[in-house]
Structure 1
Amino acid sequence: MNFARLLVGAAAVALAVSGCTATAPAESRSSPTTAPSSSLATATGTPSRILTGTFVSQAAPTNGEVTLAEKPGSLVLTLKDFSTGAGDDLYINLNPGAMTRNSAGDDVVENPNQFQVAPLASRTGTQNYDLTRMIDGLPEIHSVTIYSNKSREAFGTANLQEK
């Protein structure tokens, strides 16, 4: 079972990496929120949905907004006014769970399953990632994490809420 999950995850990463691009800033009409809420529906025939969130620092100072926008046949993740601390092997992970505070007072993602979707293109600035190839296999998403594979630490996480 773990091997199958690993194989599916590796295939998703390989597909997502080929669609990663950094672009000019996109306009935002309202500010994002950090409370967990609805998750992203992934069927290509659904109406447009937009999930937004604001990063909360964890292992490194991480700031900015994230938007996950789904339209029929399209899924795009945008980091706006983004910055994170120095680190190696940084990736963007999508999480089925939201970030909460545990009994020790640490910020943790309540569901440890993660979907690594793309290497972080830059530690600063506005960036867009085309995740359209992941639509069919993507579960409900409640948060986005910037994760260092090298140090095995979450640099920052943003809970998503439907806009």
Structure 2
Amino acid sequence: MKLPKPALLAGTIAASLTACTYSGPAPEAGSTHTEISVPSSSASSTRPMTLEGKFQSQAAVTDGSAMIHVTNRGAVLQLKDFSTAPGEDLRLMLSPGTLSPNDEGDPAITSSELLDLGPIDDTASLRIHMDTKMWSSIRSPIRSVVIYNNAERTAYGTANLTQQL
């Protein structure tokens, strides 16, 4: 499936993403854990919730799950048991769209709007922290996590998110 070039939702988000820094120790050989932190702010509180979903393969076999835990301090996105095919420029994206059949019956994301959270390894356990200011600046509700090959402009896999009670 081909998608348009990914775009940031707002200048605020773009500024926040360029400030992302690696907060963990240097990875050891064979390590598959990456952690990215977005600097904290003193923004207002956010309604706590947990969103979860399992990846569905699209252009490449993609397995694992995604969870976003939202608190009054922001949100944390975590991939668990994640794997996908190698790619030249794999990116982790958030989308207000969901993966569902298009007019031809093929799986497609219902929105071309993607928020780029940064590069990922082809097999990784990722944990990304978003402070309250960044999370609340996202204008559309987040309904899916997308593994996107930026070089090919192709979605490798998408996890539709549902709120957990």
Cα deviation 1:88-126 (Å, max 9, x = unaligned)? 111111001111111212211112111111211x22242
Correspondence for 1:145: 146
Taking a change above 3 Å as real, the CA distance of residues 20 and 52 of structure 1, as seen in their structure-2 partners, is farther
**Where in structure 2 are there 5+ consecutive unaligned residues?**
1-6, 25-32, 36-42
Q: Distance in 2 between matches of 1:6 and 1:74?
A: 17
Identity %: 35
How far the C-alpha of 1:20 sits from its partner, in A, is 6.8
Q: State the partner residue of 1:39.
A: none
CA distance in 1, matches of 2:108, 2:100: 6
Structure richer in helix, relative to its length: 1
Alpha-carbon contact 2:16-2:134 (below 8 Å) kept = yes
Q: Which residue of 2 aligns with 1:110?
A: 110
TM-score under structure 2 length normalisation: 0.74
The aligned runs of 1:127-138 (5 Å cut-off) are 127-132=126-131, 134-138=134-138
Alignment coverage as a number of residue pairs: 140
Correspondences of 1:62-73 after superposition (within 5 Å):
62-73=62-73
Q: Structure 2 CA distance, aligned partners of 1:96 and 1:20?
A: 27
1:27-38 maps to which residues of 2 (within 5 A)? Answer: none
Separation in 2, partners of 1:51, 1:20: 24
Shift of the alpha carbon at 1:73? 1.3
Whether the aligned pair in 1 keeps the contact of 2:75 and 2:129 (CA below 8 Å) is yes
Unaligned runs of 5+ in 1: 25-42
Contact in 2 for aligned 1:19/1:131 (Cα 8 Å):
no
SS in 2 for 1:79: strand
The CA distance in 1 between the partners of 2:78 and 2:10, in whole Å, is 26
CA-atom RMSD in angstroms: 2.5
CA separation of 1:87/1:76 partners in 2, compared to 1, >3 Å: closer, same or farther?
same
- The amino acid that maps onto 2:130 is L
| Runs of 4+, deviation exceeding 4 Å | 4-7
User: Distance between the aligned counterparts of 1:62 and 1:44, measured in 2?
Assistant: 36
Structure 1 44/155 Cα, relative in aligned 2: closer, same or farther at 3 Å? farther
d(CA) in 1 for partners of 2:23 and 2:85?
21
Q: Matched residues in 1 for 2:48 and 2:8: separation?
A: 29
- Answer with 141-150 or 129-138: which moved more: 129-138
Quote the offset at 1:136 in angstroms: 2.8
CA distance in 2, matches of 1:136, 1:115: 13
Which amino acid letter does the alignment assign opposite residue 71 of structure 1?
A: T
CA distance in 2, matches of 1:81, 1:116: 21
Kindly tell me: are residues 60 and 44 of structure 1, through their superposed partners in 2, closer, same or farther at Cα, counting changes over 3 Å? farther
Report the counterpart of residue 50 of structure 1 in structure 2.
50
CA distance in 2, matches of 1:135, 1:81: 24
